[in-house]
Structure 1
Amino acid sequence: MDAPIVFLHGFGTSKEDYLDIAQRHDFAGRPFLAYDMPGAGVTDCTDPAAVDIPFLVHTARAVLERTGIGRFHVVAHSTGALAALMLAHQEPGRVLSFVNIKGVLGPEDCVLSRQALAQPDPAEFFLKAAEHTRNAPHYGSGMYAANLPHKIQRGAVAGMFRSMVELADRGNLMGKFLSLPCPRMYLYGEQCAGLSCLPVLDANGVELAEIPHSGHLPMYSNPVAMWRQIAEFHARQLIPSARR
């Protein structure tokens, strides 16, 4: 049996981002794992202030142990991709491939979270900022804004943002991602095509996948193209001759 695909969702979203995999014929029979992170989705975290990126890494490791998963493929988005990166950096032998969906790789990925941390109530600021983007000309922003209050515990916002900014500024995330020994893809929407990290990724052997008609949330705006790119990437890892 093929190794499972482990999905980690981003900040303010949930495991349901990935459940369409069960409807995709190109993933038929592939085992997978998707779960809500602490303080997100339908989870109820008794101490949401304790939630940060290291806590998410610890949680991922515990879930993998509980489910008996040894080696696996990663597909992860945004802050979930950051947690997955830290786990893969600590245990590189377990990760067979990594699809990074607009994950945090540097300071430019933390503009809004940095602004939120400068406010007395980061959660209130972030929720209001997200609401203001409901009608912004960004793919997926309306759906994200509508879902956000139901997908994240307010108490988890500050700790998550603080650790994310710290890692983005001082964690050498780009170096960690480029040093992973597994095949890597960086997937992003066309509205994110100006990211400064893209030429660096391309020059260092990371496969780039730009999804049309989407932005930070391609799973909302163009899931068909997103799943096709992921399926083709995985097929190349499973069929050695396709790597040439």
Structure 2
Amino acid sequence: MSPVRKLERFTLPLTVDGTRVEVSGLHRDGTGTPLVFLHGFGSTKEDYADMVQQERLADCPVLAYDAPGCGASTCDDLGAVTIPFLVSVAEQVLHAHHIDRFHVVGHSMGGLTALMVADAHPGRIASFTNIEGNVAPEDCFLSRQILTHAHDDPDEFLARFAERVAGSRFYGGGLYASSLPHKVRAGAVRAIFESMVGLSDHGKLLDRFLALPAPRTFMYGEQNNTLSYLSALSEGGVELAEIEHCAHFPMYSNPPQMWAHITDLVSRADSGS
């Protein structure tokens, strides 16, 4: 494997809204517009490590990192980790890596974070692949459990949450649930979920997504093809990408098809077609 394709690990200490964090990430240098990946709740930067296998993007600069409280990233105050907090983290990480304009891929929580970053800095977004990131209240089928299945003990809530996901009928649920205790700190869950629910219910996210000027793809699993807003996205100029044999986790259920859509959008955006 040539040096330009290899992803290198980094750690980045930051102070975000008065809270100390240490971000663990993967990056590589290259030519052209960087590609930035934001993972979902209960996932990590390694969801995107197969970027090195994408021949059409072999020279593309890459940045992926664990959100504070997830994976190998740490946070001195887990209760501070909300979506606005994660937006501030993203802005600081981008600044530290001297990234101005970029392609962004965000899944679920990461898709919502990416949307808020893009809404604040629309001119910096070269393309946006939104993998079932929250744009409407109905997208809180996981995060709203902080209200519908409330528990005073964070560890117990996370354990029961994992059991419910593992027992669902949806593709990828068992694999995702099995790694949850290793990928997210229980103390971070409440603030993240409450923030996601609040923004989904009251943040006019669909309007914000439709207003973005960059080329956009909304990617969703075939088991979620009844989402009520898909027609509105299509009519608003958003490209839809339905992933076969998949629900909420294309990186677990059908990664070849996921990567094909990501690569296609990035390549077309870079060529101006």
Q: TM-score, normalised by structure 1?
A: 0.95
Q: Secondary structure at the match of 2:171?
A: coil
- The separation in 2 between residues aligned to 1:208 and 1:126, in whole angstroms, is 32
Work out whether 1:161 is the aligned partner of 2:193. Answer: yes
Q: Determine if the alignment matches structure 1 residue 78 to structure 2 residue 108.
A: yes
**Residue identity opposite 2:152 in structure 1:** D
Q: 1:181 aligns with which of 213, 227, 233?
A: 213
- AA paired with 1:182? A
Going from structure 1 to structure 2, the CA distance change for 1:98 and 1:136 (only over 3 Å counts) comes to same
Partners of 1:63 and 1:112 lie apart in 2 by: 27
- Which letter does structure 2 place at the counterpart of 1:173? L
Is residue 90 of structure 2 the alignment partner of residue 60 of structure 1?
yes
The residue aligned with 2:255 is 223
- The Cα of 1:208 is off from its aligned counterpart by 0.3
Matched-pair contact (CA < 8 Å) for 2:37–2:48:
yes
Matching residue of 1:232: 264
Residue number in structure 1 paired with 2:152: 121
Deviation at 1:116, TM superposition (A): 1.7
Structure with the higher helix share, 1 or 2? 1
SS in 2 for 1:236: helix
Cα deviation, residue 113, structure 1: 2.1
Which stretches in structure 2 are left out of the alignment for 5+ residues? Answer: 1-30
The 3 A distance-change label for structure 1 pair 122 and 91 is farther
Query: Is it true that 1:26 corresponds to 2:56 in the alignment?
Result: yes
Q: Which amino acid aligns with 2:127?
A: S
Q: Which has the higher strand share?
A: 2
Q: Which deviates the most, 125-134 or 191-200?
A: 125-134
2:2 is the alignment partner of 1:2: no
The 2-side partners of 1:125 and 1:52 are apart by 18
**TM-score normalized with structure 2 length:** 0.85
SS at match of 2:261: helix
Identity %: 51
Distance (Å, rounded) in 1 between the aligned partners of 2:228 and 2:157: 27
In structure 1, the partner of 2:141 is 111
Shift of 1:174: 0.3
Q: Does 1:69 align with 2:93?
A: no
Paired residue for 2:42?
Answer: 12
SS state of the match for residue 144, structure 2? helix
The answer (yes or no) to whether the contact 2:127–2:265 under 8 Å persists in 1 is: no
1:102 aligns with 2:132: yes
Q: Determine the C-alpha separation between the residues in 1 that align with 2:47 and 2:195.
A: 24
**What is the identity, as a one-letter code, of the residue corresponding to 2:58?**
A
| 2:11 alignment counterpart | none
- Deviation string, structure 1 residues 23-46 (Cα, Å, up to 9, x no partner): 121211111100000000111212
